[in-house]
Chains A and B, each alone.
Chain A
Amino acid sequence: MGYALPDEGGHFGRYGGRFVSETLMRPLLELQEIYERLRQDSAFQEEFSEDLRLYVGRPSPLYPARRLTEKFGGARIYLKREDLNHTGAHKINNTVGQALLAKRMGKTRVIAETGAGQHGVATATVAARLGLECVIYMGAEDIQRQAINVFRMKLLGAKVVPVTSGSRTLKDALNEAMRDWVTNIENTFYIIGTVAGPHPYPAMVRDFQAVIGKEVRYQIMEFEGRLPDALVACVGGGSNAMGLFYPFLDDPAVALFGVEAAGRGLATGQHAASLSAGRPGVLHGNRTYLMETDDGQIIETHSISAGLDYPGVGPEHAWLKDSGRARYVAVTDDEALEAFHLLTRIEGIMPALESSHAIAYSGRLARELGRDACIVVNLSGRGDKDVHTIAAREGITL
Chain B
Amino acid sequence: MTNRLADRFKALKVRGRTALIPFITAGDPEPRITVPLMHALAEAGADIIELGVPFSDPMADGPVIQKASERALAHHMSLAGVLAMVREFRSEDPHTPVVLMGYLNPVEAMGYDRFAAGAHEAGVDGVLTVDLPPEEGQELVTALRSRGIDPVFLLAPTSDAERIRRIVQLAGGFVYYVSLRGVTGAANFDLTEVAQKLRLIRAQTHLPVGVGFGISSPDAAAKVAGVADAVIVGSALVGRIAALASQPDRIATEAAAFVAQLRAAMDGATASASGSTSGVRA
Q: Which residues of A contact B (CB under 8 A)?
A: 9, 17-27, 165-166, 171-172, 175, 178-179, 182-183, 185, 280-285, 287, 290, 292-299
Contact = CB atoms under 8 A, between A and B. Distances in A.
B158 to A, nearest CB: 4
Contact of B108 (A166, A172, A185, A281): A281
A295 B158 contact: no
Given A281-B105, A281-B108, A25 B66 contact: no
B92 interface: no
A17 B181 contact: no
Interface in B148-188: 153-160, 163, 167, 178, 181-183, 186
A282 B167 CA distance: 21
B198 interface: no
B167 A22 contact: yes
Contact of A185 (B78, B80, B158, B178): B158
B16 interface: no
A182 B154 contact: no
B156 A23 contact: yes
A292 B103 CA distance: 14
B44 interface: no
B183 A297 contact: no
B190 interface: no
B207 to A, nearest CB: 15
Contacts of A285: 59, 131
Given A25-B158, A26-B159, A166-B56, A298 B105 contact: yes
9 contacts: A21-B154, A22-B159, A25-B135, A171-B57, A182-B60, A280-B108, A282-B108, A295-B79, A296-B79
B131 A20 contact: yes
A185 B181 contact: yes
A295 B109 contact: yes
Contacts of B163: 22, 25-26
Contacts of A18: 133, 135-136
A20 B106 contact: no
A175 B106 contact: no
B111 to A, nearest CB: 10
Interface in B94-135: 103-110, 130-133, 135
Interface residues of B, number: 45
B104 A22 contact: no
Contacts of A297: 55-56, 73, 78, 105-106
A25 B183 CA distance: 14
Contact of B57 (A22, A175, A287): A175
Contact of A182 (B67, B106, B135, B182): B182
B158 A292 contact: no
Given A19-B136, A22-B156, A297-B55, A283 B105 contact: yes
A282 B183 contact: no
B133 A20 contact: yes
A19 B158 contact: no
A26 B160 contact: yes
B36 interface: no
Most buried by B among A24, A182, A284: A182
B70 A166 contact: yes
B106 A21 contact: no
Contacts of B62: 179
B164 to A, nearest CB: 10
Contacts of B70: 165-166
B248 interface: no
Nearest to A280: B108
Most buried by A among B109, B110, B159: B109
Most buried by A among B57, B153, B167: B57
Given A165-B70, A296-B109, A17 B136 contact: yes
A163 B147 CA distance: 40
B58 interface: yes
Most buried by A among B66, B70, B135, B163: B135
Contacts of A179: 59-62, 182-183
A298 B57 contact: yes
B63 interface: yes
A81 B103 CA distance: 41
A310 B78 CA distance: 22
Contact of B109 (A17, A185, A294): A294
Interface string B73-94: 1000011100000000000000
A179 B158 CA distance: 15
Contacts of A287: 108
A178 B59 contact: yes
B41 to A, nearest CB: 25
A175 B70 CA distance: 14
Contact of A22 (B56, B79, B155): B155
A17 B131 CA distance: 11
A179 B66 CA distance: 12
Contact of A282 (B58, B66, B131): B131
A152 B110 CA distance: 44
A9 B137 CA distance: 13
Contacts of B160: 26
Contacts of A178: 59
A173 to B, nearest CB: 11
Contacts of B61: 179
A165 B55 CA distance: 12
A151 B178 CA distance: 38
Most buried by B among A25, A285, A297: A297
Contacts of B108: 280-282, 287, 296
B57 A284 contact: yes
A296 B62 CA distance: 21
A261 to B, nearest CB: 20
A166 B61 CA distance: 13
Contacts of A22: 133, 153-156, 158-159, 163, 167, 178
Given A21-B156, A297-B56, A183 B79 contact: no
